[in-house]
């Protein structure tokens, strides 16, 4: 493991679907301010593992420790409430709402006007702007629907929202897949900035260049088991590929 | 193969019909089906009552089945189902002059006698030996052209034989309302002091009919009267008059007289209602069917009357009995 | 260098201009429409169309019933659904009101009789809304199918209650609501303006309104954000039904009779008003103000064509053409990729 108390620790995780072992005795750890890339071929068990961590499935065996105590998430909302947030590419934002409204979706601040309770849009925009500034996400206008933003900018807004609500662990599933090169760089830069804020990041990508650009550590899964684990400095893409294909 | 089975079935039916003929003469209960244009309308509900009265008097069984909307696509399946139950005669208000011809032929082929009520198929002239739609035995209905004429006369009298009027109609292409408009306009030709403006179609929407009246009035401040060719046309026009503050100044003639019209007549919203006699149509329809089934000849057309109802005569039981009841 | 700058400047100014035009298209259309009628009226028979208070009042009263159906429908359409049952929910409320007022007035008097009638009619109109909401939110029935089923049920029940005829009602207070005037304004119009204000507030300022947009924009995102999408959906259809119920109440007041089929012909006009007003049938966008303009456009066209004495058949064509143009504008705007604002 890396230095410091692990923020999240999964030990001996197993999961079966019918007769198929999707995961068999898998270990996975993540420290605050650390980026761990989860690598593996299709069907290696990457998405099953992150779904267990984010509360979508309960594991059949093994234990989850989060911030020092043992946890069992009832559902994804439960995991999110405790600060484990997954960033999905398509499901993240309501395209027709502006940035502030998306950051605050479901938790809108209210104010009063003429004695009537109204949504405080000005505050939503201001606070969203603050959060985005803190992460160095530059958006020129926050009052336009997010459909007017680029894919990378939307990704940033989704991440900004998670951070605004104090996410401690961010799970990012192929965050750069649908983006152009400059956009990918923006997301990679944001991940660096999140690290600096002490957020633990689980990063899934098929793109080895991306993995090597951001990850501190690389955990490789193969057919539902741990196939190896390397710090970035101590490995190279060829070795990771060998671990993936076995 | 299929055709042979059908032929055999028809032959069997024919035999069955022959076999039952003496039984009828011996006083077997006749079954007569009444298929209205739609089931949810006071006009047809009242027709049903008249038909029931006749059936009770004659000792026949009456079956009442129809579709909830005035629509051939909905009516034909009902007709098929009724034919399948093989009544002795079918009284039907066909929802389309053409589309109901073939479906009704099936009834004839099954040995069921057909009489149309209120509306007709083909030209409405039956038993002439010409055309393919002359097979119904009789057409029992009020003469809608005459009804339009009566409405025109009553309205002309109410406005002192001068001024502008127009027809508020449902939609183009409905035989009865078209005939009312035709009769109305024809009669108005005999009243040179009266100008008939363009007809307005309201899609059976009282709200639209009200707005149309106001628009026509805005354009023609000397508007003197309006003829609502059916209930909602009249109710809408009447409300348009009321909203414009012209109650009493612009006369409203309504075609048809459901019970709710009494309120409108009494409050002066509607000045006159032309009541058809749907109960009479139902009654004479059943009588005609019974006569035909028991070997009597019947007229190919039976015309029923109209009553003009106003505020002054609406409480007279001889008049109020023509209100359509529910 | 200068070329790139010009191109950039042109692009940045062109897209917002088009977007602004598209956003304001309903307003523009209404203005063009009124101008055409005004010119036509002046040229052909020397009268004014808008300068005539009677015309304005008539159009306003005409727009009331479709508008009441349309403002509830606006919420439903923004959420990505559709409510086809509103016409007969309106009819149901009209019949229930007529019966209840007839029963209650002799015992309770005019005012209380009317209040009881309105309360019962509103409650009755909520039933189809709740059932629609449960079907769509809980049983995942597509809105088109679920509300089409309810269209049939509400229609059947309304006709059964009506006994197949219109139900006359006599109550002075109800008649005042339907046909009275307050300070020169028809009461039905004032009540509708009140309903517009309340719904505009709900849609643009409340969490419920915000969630309506969110559900229509991205249902999955709304669920993930912890919004109780089922509850929002049920409330949407109840709101739509209650608006229709209020439409039925005002209808009964105007015509002194409840009719089961009162709202049936209004369904298409009301949906047209929502779409012309800028809502997308795919959900996510739309405003109450837009719907108001849309309803006024539909009303002005129909009223104005009669006023300038256009052949009835052309009137059908005109309304259809307006709807098609409106949808085309909407789609071309979508293709431009322009976004929508949510207030």
Please measure the distance between the N-terminal and C-terminal CA atoms of chain A and give it in whole angstroms.
23
Q: How far is CA B43 from CA A26, A45, A83, B289, in A?
A: 78, 72, 69, 20
Residue pair B194/B164 in contact by the 8 Å Cβ criterion: yes
CA distance C252 to C177: 10
Question: Do chains A and B meet with 3 or more Cβ pairs nearer than 8 Å?
Answer: no
- Residue B248 makes CB contacts below 8 A (sequence gap 6+) with B268
Portion 108-147 of C in contact with B at CB < 8 A:
none
- Contacting residues of A for C205, CB less than 8 Å apart: 113, 116-119
Taking 3-state DSSP, the helix, strand and coil percentages for chain A, each rounded to the nearest 5, stand at 35, 30, 35
Label residue B256 exposed, middle or buried (CB < 10 Å: 0-12, 13-18, 19+): buried
pLDDT tens-digit map of B210-219: 999 999 999 9
- Do the domain assignments include residue B282? yes
Residues in chain C within 8 Å Cβ distance of B262: 168
Q: Which of residues 7-26 of B touch C (CB under 8 A)?
A: none
Does the pLDDT of residue A161 top 80, yes or no? yes
b or e along A70-109 (b: 16 or more beta carbons within 10 Å of the residue's beta carbon)? eeebeebeebbebbbbbbbbeebbbbbbbbbbbbbbbebe
Q: Are residues B100 and B219 in the same domain?
A: no
Same domain, B284 and B268: no
Contacts of C304 in chain B (CB under 8 A): 215
Which chain C residues have a beta carbon less than 8 Å from that of A119?
205-207, 210
Looking up tokens 């970035």 gives A232
Question: Cα B2 to chain center, whole Å?
Answer: 39
CB contact under 8 A, A147 and C340: yes
Sheet strands (E) in chain A: 6-17, 20-31, 35-40, 61-66, 69-71, 84-87, 110-113, 116-119, 169-173, 200-204, 217-222, 225-231
Ramachandran angles phi, psi of B66, nearest 5°: -165, 180
Q: Which of C58, C260, C313 sits opposite B211 (nearest CB)?
A: C58
Angstrom distances, CA of residue A3 to CA of A11, A35, A167, A200, A217: 18, 13, 21, 13, 12
pLDDT at B59: 94
* Residue B314, in any domain of the structure: no
Looking at CA atoms only, how far is residue B138 from chain C in angstroms? 27
> B49 and B84 share a domain?
yes
- Does residue A191 surpass a pLDDT of 60? yes
- Domains of chain A (ranges, CATH numbers): 1-83+168-246 (3.40.50.300), 90-166 (no CATH)
Cβ distance of C341 and A91 shorter than 8 Å: no
Q: How far is CA A190 from CA A66, A153, A182, A186, in A?
A: 24, 11, 13, 6
B99 & B154 share domain? no
**Contact at CB, B243 and C61, closer than 8 angstroms:** yes
What are the two backbone dihedrals, phi and then psi, of residue C216, each rounded to the nearest 5 degrees? -75, -30
- This prediction has a pTM of 0.80
Query: Domain total for chain B?
Result: 2
Closest Cβ–Cβ partner in A77, A105, A143 for C214 = A105
Per the rule left: phi > 0, alpha: psi between -120 and 50, beta: everything else, A228 is left
Question: pLDDT for B153-209, tens place per residue?
Answer: 999 999 999 999 999 999 887 778 899 999 999 999 999 999 999 999 998 889 999
Q: Which of A81, A91, A105 to mutate to test the interface with C (most CBs of C within 10 A)?
A: A105
Contact residues, B window 225-244, toward C, CB-based 8 Å cutoff: 231-232, 235-236, 239-240, 242-244
Chain C nearest-CA residue for A113: C205
Residues C334 and B172: their CA atoms lie apart, in Å, by: 38
Whole-number pLDDT of residue C164: 67
Name chain C contacts of B240, Cβ cutoff 8 Å: 58
Q: Hey, are the CB atoms on C165 and B45 less than 8 Å from each other? A: yes
**From CA C235, how far away is CA C239, in angstroms rounded?**
6
How far apart CA C86 and CA C242 sit, in angstroms, is 9
Place of tokens 């106001």: B214
Computed over every residue of chain A, the mean pLDDT equals 87
Determine, for residues A94 and C205 on separate chains, whether the beta-carbon distance falls below 8 Å: no
C312 contacts B201? CB cut-off 8 A:
yes
What would the mean pLDDT of B22-39 be, rounded to a whole number? 75
Q: Which residues of C touch A97 (CB under 8 A)?
A: 210, 213-214, 217, 342
Shortest CA distance to A54 belongs to which of A81, A85, A88?
A: A85
Q: Does B156 touch chain C (CB under 8 A)?
A: no
Put residue A33 in one of left, alpha, beta given phi > 0 → left and psi -120 to 50 → alpha: left
What DSSP string describes C231-293? HHHHHHHHHHHHHHHHHHHHHHHHHTEE-TTTTTTHHHHHHHHHHHTT--TTSS---HHHHHH
Q: Give the 3-state DSSP-derived string for C139-159, with helices as H, strands as E and coil as C.
A: CCCCHHHHHHHHHHHHHHHHH
Compute the count of residue pairs across chains A and C with CB atoms less than 8 Å apart.
87
Is B89 exposed, middle or buried (CB count within 10 Å of its CB: 0-12, 13-18, 19+)? buried
pLDDT tens digit sequence for B269-326: 899 999 999 999 999 999 999 999 999 999 999 989 899 999 999 999 999 889 887 6
Give chain B positions within 8 Å (CB) of C168: 259-260, 262-264
Cα(B177)–Cα(B100) distance, integer angstroms: 19
Q: Which of B131, B102, B95, B132 is nearest to B116 (CA)?
A: B95
B125 and B41 share one domain: yes
Give the nearest partner residue to B211 out of C62, C260, C266, using CB atoms. C62
Which residues does chain C have with pLDDT short of 70? 1-19, 21-23, 164, 330, 333-343
pLDDT band at B21, cuts 50/70/90?
very low
Asked whether the beta carbons of residue A96 and residue C339 sit closer than 8 angstroms, the reply is: yes
Instruction: Specify the pLDDT at position A164.
Output: 86
What CATH code is carried by the domain that includes residue B207? 3.40.50.2300
Q: Is the ipTM of this complex over 0.85?
A: no
Chain A residues whose beta carbon lies within 8 Å of the beta carbon of residue C203: none
B128 domain-assigned: yes
- Phi, psi dihedral angles at B171 (to 5 degrees): -160, 155
Residue B18: which pLDDT band, with cuts at 50, 70 and 90? very low
Do B164 and B121 have their domain in common? Answer: no
- Considering only CB atoms, B45 lies closest to which of C45, C47, C164, namely C164
Q: Are strands A200-204 and A225-231 parallel, antiparallel or unpaired?
A: unpaired
Paired strand residues for B168 = B200, B228
- How confident is the model over B43-48, as a mean pLDDT? 91
Q: Which residues of A touch C (CB under 8 A)?
A: 76-77, 80, 88, 90-98, 101-102, 105-108, 110, 113, 116-119, 121, 143-148
Q: Are residues B250 and B166 in the same domain?
A: yes
B267 and B292 belong to one structural domain? no
Chain C positions with Cβ closer than 8 Å to A: 201, 205-207, 210-211, 213-214, 216-218, 220-222, 224-227, 284-285, 337-343
Asked if A202 contacts A217 with a C-beta cutoff of 8 angstroms, the reply is: no
Spatial distance between the Cα atoms of B55 and B84, rounded to a whole number of angstroms: 21
Instruction: Give residue A91's pLDDT.
Output: 61
Q: Say what the pLDDT of residue C15 is.
A: 53
Selected residue with higher pLDDT from C43 and A91: C43
How confident is residue B26, by pLDDT bands cut at 50, 70 and 90? very low
In angstroms, the CA B157 to CA B165 distance is 12
Buried-state track C55-74, b at ≥16 Cβ within 10 A, e below 16 = bebbbbbbbbbbbbbbbbbb
Residues B158 and B239 in one domain: yes
- Cα gap C68→C244, rounded to integer Å: 6
Partner-chain residue, chosen from B219, B244, B326, that has the shortest CB–CB distance to C163: B326
From C7's Cα to the closest Cα of chain A, the distance in A is 20
Domains and CATH numbers, chain C: 20-333 (1.10.3470)
> What 3-state DSSP class applies to B279?
helix
Asked if C342 and A143 come within 8 Å (Cβ–Cβ), the reply is: no
- pLDDT surpasses 50 at B11: no
CB contact under 8 A, C205 and A76: no
More confident residue, B130 or C136: C136
∠ CA B90-B118-B280, nearest 5°, is 85
Place of tokens 């969490």: C207
How long a stretch of residues is chain B? 326
A88, A98, A116: residue with CB nearest C342? A98
Mean residue pLDDT of chain B comes to 87
Domain presence at residue B245: yes
State how far Cα C318 lies from the chain centre: 20
Q: What is the dihedral of CA A238, A242, A243, A244, to 10 degrees?
A: 100
CB B214 within 8 A of CB B243: yes
Size of chain A, expressed as the number of residues it contains: 246
Length of chain C measured in residues? 343
Residue among C86, C133, C339 nearest C217 (CA): C339
Q: CA torsion angle for A229, A235, A239, A243 (degrees, to 10)?
A: 0
Which residue in A has a C-alpha nearest to residue C200's C-alpha? A118
Say which residue the tokens 């071929």 belong to. A41
Q: Does any CB of chain C come closer than 8 Å to the CB of residue B41?
A: yes
* CB < 8 Å & 24+ apart, contacts of B80-86: B80/B106, B82/B33, B82/B35, B83/B107, B83/B110, B83/B112, B85/B33, B86/B13, B86/B110, B86/B112
Q: What is the pLDDT of residue B20?
A: 44
- Residue in A91, A119, A145 nearest the CB of C224: A91
Q: What is the 3-state composition of chain C as percent helix, strand, coil, each rounded to the nearest 5?
A: 80, 0, 20
Nearest to B214 among C58, C265, C312 (CB): C58
Which chains reach chain C with 3 or more Cβ–Cβ distances below 8 angstroms? A, B
Is the pLDDT at B3 greater than 60? The verdict is no
Residue B8 and residue B125 in one domain = yes
Tell me if C186 sits within 8 A of C197, measured CB to CB: no
Domain region containing B29: 2-136+278-304
Say yes or no: B170 and B244 in one domain. yes
The more confidently predicted of residues B68 and C204 is C204
Contacts of residue B4, defined as CB under 8 A and 6 or more positions apart, other chains included, come to: none
Q: Residue A144: which of C210, C216, C339 has the nearest Cβ?
A: C339
Answer yes or no: do C164 and B262 touch at CB < 8 A. Answer: no
B12 pLDDT higher than 60: no
- pLDDT in the model for residue A205: 84
A159 against B116, higher pLDDT: B116
Q: What percent of chain B has pLDDT over 70?
A: 91
- Mean of the pLDDT values across residues A64-89? 87
Q: How many CB pairs under 8 A join B and C?
A: 132
Q: Which of C37, C62, C101, C192 to mutate to test the interface with B (most CBs of B within 10 A)?
A: C62
Residues B148 and B222 in one domain: yes
């Amino acid at each position: 493991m890396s230095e410091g108390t692990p923020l999240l620790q999964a030990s001996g995780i197993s999961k079966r679907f019918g007769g198929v072992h999707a995961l068999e005795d898998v270990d996975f750890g993540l420290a605050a301010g650390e980026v761990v890339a989860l690598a593996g071929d299709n069907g290696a068990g990457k998405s099953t593992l992150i779904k267990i961590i984010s509360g979508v499935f309960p594991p059949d065996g093994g234990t989850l420790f989060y911030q020092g105590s043992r946890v069992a998430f009832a559902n994804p909302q439960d995991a999110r409430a405790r600060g484990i947030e997954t960033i999905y590419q398509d499901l993240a934002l309501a395209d027709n709402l502006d940035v502030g409204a998306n950051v605050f979706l479901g938790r809108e601040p209210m104010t009063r006007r003429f004695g009537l309770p109204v949504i405080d849009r000005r505050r939503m925009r201001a606070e969203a702007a603050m959060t985005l500034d803190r992460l160095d996400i530059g958006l020129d206008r926050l009052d336009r629907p997010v459909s007017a933003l680029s894919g990378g900018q939307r990704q940033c807004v989704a991440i900004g929202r998670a951070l605004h609500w104090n996410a401690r662990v961010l799970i990012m599933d192929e965050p750069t897949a649908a983006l152009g090169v400059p956009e990918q760089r923006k997301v990679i830069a944001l991940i660096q900035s999140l690290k600096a804020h002490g957020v633990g990041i689980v990063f899934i990508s098929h793109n080895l260049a991306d993995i090597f650009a951001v990850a501190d550590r690389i955990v490789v899964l193969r057919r539902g088991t741990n196939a190896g684990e390397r710090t970035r400095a101590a490995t190279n893409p060829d070795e990771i590929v060998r671990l993936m294909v076995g | 193969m299929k055709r042979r089975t059908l032929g055999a079935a028809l032959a069997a039916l024919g035999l069955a019909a022959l076999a039952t003929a003496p039984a009828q003469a011996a006083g077997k209960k006749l079954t007569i089906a009444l298929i209205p244009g739609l089931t949810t309308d006071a006009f047809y509900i009242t027709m049903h009552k008249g038909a029931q009265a006749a059936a009770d008097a004659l000792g026949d069984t009456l079956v009442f089945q129809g579709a909830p909307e005035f629509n051939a696509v909905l009516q034909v399946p009902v007709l098929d189902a009724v034919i399948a139950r093989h009544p002795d005669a079918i009284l039907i208000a066909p929802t389309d002059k053409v589309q109901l011809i073939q479906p009704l032929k099936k009834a004839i082929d099954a040995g069921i006698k057909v009489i149309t009520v209120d509306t007709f198929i083909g030209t409405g002239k039956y038993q002439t030996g010409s055309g393919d739609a002359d097979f119904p035995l009789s057409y029992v209905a009020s003469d809608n052209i005459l009804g339009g004429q009566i409405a025109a006369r009553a309205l002309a009298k109410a406005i002192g034989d001068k001024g502008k009027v127009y027809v508020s109609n449902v939609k183009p292409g409905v035989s009865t309302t078209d005939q009312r408009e035709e009769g109305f306009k024809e009669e108005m030709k005999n009243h040179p002091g009266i100008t008939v403006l363009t007809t307005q179609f309201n899609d059976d929407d009282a709200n639209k009919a009200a707005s149309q009246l106001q628009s026509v009035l805005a354009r023609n401040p000397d508007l003197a009267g309006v003829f609502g060719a059916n209930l909602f046309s009249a109710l809408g026009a009447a409300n348009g008059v009321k909203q414009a503050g012209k109650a009493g100044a612009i006369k409203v003639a309504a075609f048809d007289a459901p019970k709710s019209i009494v309120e409108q007549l009494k409050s002066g919203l509607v000045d006159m209602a032309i009541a058809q006699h749907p109960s009479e149509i139902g009654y004479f329809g059943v009588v005609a069917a019974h006569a035909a089934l028991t070997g009597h000849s019947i007229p190919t057309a039976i015309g029923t009357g109209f009553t003009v109802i106003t505020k002054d005569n609406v409480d007279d039981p001889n008049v109020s009995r023509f209100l359509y009841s529910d | 260098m200068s070329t790139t700058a010009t191109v950039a400047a042109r692009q940045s100014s062109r897209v917002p201009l088009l977007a602004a035009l598209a956003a304001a298209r309903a307003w523009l259309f209404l203005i063009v429409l009124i101008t055409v009628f005004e010119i036509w009226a002046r040229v052909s028979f020397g009268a004014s169309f808008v300068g005539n208070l009677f015309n304005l009042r008539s159009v306003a009263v005409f727009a009331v019933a479709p508008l009441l159906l349309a403002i509830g429908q606006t919420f439903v359409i923004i959420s990505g659904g559709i409510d086809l049952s509103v016409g007969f929910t309106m009819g149901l409320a009209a019949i229930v009101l007529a019966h209840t007022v007839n029963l209650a007035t002799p015992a309770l008097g005019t005012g209380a009789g009317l209040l009881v009638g309105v309360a019962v009619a509103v409650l009755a109109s909520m039933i189809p809304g709740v059932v629609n909401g449960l079907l769509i939110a809980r049983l995942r029935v597509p809105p088109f199918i679920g509300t089409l089923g309810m269209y049939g049920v509400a229609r059947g029940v309304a006709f059964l209650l009506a006994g197949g005829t219109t139900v006359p009602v006599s109550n002075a207070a109800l008649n005042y609501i339907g046909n009275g005037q307050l300070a020169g304004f028809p009461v039905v119009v004032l009540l509708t303006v009140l309903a517009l204000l309340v719904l505009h507030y709900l849609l643009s300022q409340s969490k419920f309104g915000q969630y309506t947009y969110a559900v229509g924009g991205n249902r999955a995102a709304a669920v993930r954000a912890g919004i109780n999408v089922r509850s929002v959906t049920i409330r949407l259809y109840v709101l739509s039904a209650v608006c229709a119920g209020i439409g039925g109440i005002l209808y009964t007041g105007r015509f002194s009779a409840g009719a089961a089929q009162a709202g049936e012909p209004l369904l298409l006009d009301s949906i047209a008003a929502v779409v012309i007003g800028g809502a997308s049938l795919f959900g996510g966008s739309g405003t109450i103000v837009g719907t108001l303009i849309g309803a006024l456009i539909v009303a002005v066209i129909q009223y104005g064509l009669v006023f300038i004495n256009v052949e009835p058949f052309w009137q059908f064509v005109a309304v259809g053409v307006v709807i098609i143009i409106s949808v085309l504008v909407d789609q071309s705007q979508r293709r431009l990729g322009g976004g929508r604002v949510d207030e």
